[in-house]
A = this chain, B = another copy of it.
Amino acid sequence: MKRTDFSDMHCSIAQALNIVGEWWTLLILRDVFIGNHRFSGLLDSLGISRKVLTDRLETLVAEGILKQVPYDTGNRFEYHLTQKGYELGPVLLTLIAWGDKWVFKNQPPIELTHKACNQITSPQVVCSECGEPVSFRDLIGEPSRHMPEDAQQRWKKLKEDHTS
């Protein structure tokens, strides 16, 4: 059996993970974010196998998260972020914040300085509307009209099971 794919789940987390949730994928993107754009550079920096790196770059390009940019003459490409890829930045930032606190016990190996205010910062998640910090318990999730009817029914049923 193939590994279960999440693409028929009516859930943005599942959809996102179906694309960037494979082993190595977010680490590759981290490197591209930092400025490591080439096959050999990624190989050296990550210690990933050639086969898997090839495969991941292919799917990231196919998904429109990375784009190939030619360099030198001939068919050599660098891998650069598209807008879709760049907007995965917040995911990486929240992973950093969690790892800094819970794995490195607030002694992070890398310090982030915010250029605008010139202070050492830790990314924080806030409500887009009122600007206050939010976490899960501050939010209520409800199926929207964009979720198919049958999925809405299942969602409600599961919710009831949990609370009973």
Q: Could you give, for residues 75-117 of chain A, a 1 whenever the CB lies within 8 Å of some chain B CB and a 0 otherwise?
A: 0000000001011111111111111111110011111111111
Query: CA of A112 to CA of B94 in the docked complex: distance in angstroms?
Result: 19
User: Does A124 make an interface contact (CB < 8 A)?
Assistant: yes
User: Does A128 make an interface contact (CB < 8 A)?
Assistant: yes
Of all A-B residue pairs in the complex, the 9 with the closest CB atoms, nearest first, are A12-B99, A117-B130, A16-B99, A109-B147, A35-B162, A89-B136, A15-B103, A119-B129, A90-B94
Measured between beta carbons, the chain B residues less than 8 angstroms from A92 are: 13, 136
A98, chain B: closest CB distance, angstroms: 5
Measured between beta carbons, the chain B residues less than 8 angstroms from A139 are: 112-115, 121
User: Does A41 make an interface contact (CB < 8 A)?
Assistant: yes
Q: In A118-158, which residues have CB < 8 Å from any B CB?
A: 119-132, 134-136, 138-144, 146-147, 151, 158
Q: Is the CB of B21 within 8 A of A109?
A: no
Q: Secondary structure of the A side of the interface?
A: mixed
Q: Is the CB of A41 within 8 A of B104?
A: no
Closest to A104 in B: B12
- Name the contact of A144 in the complex, choosing from B16, B45, B109 (C-beta under 8 A): B109
Q: Is the CB of A151 within 8 A of B109?
A: yes
Q: Is the CB of B125 within 8 A of A123?
A: yes
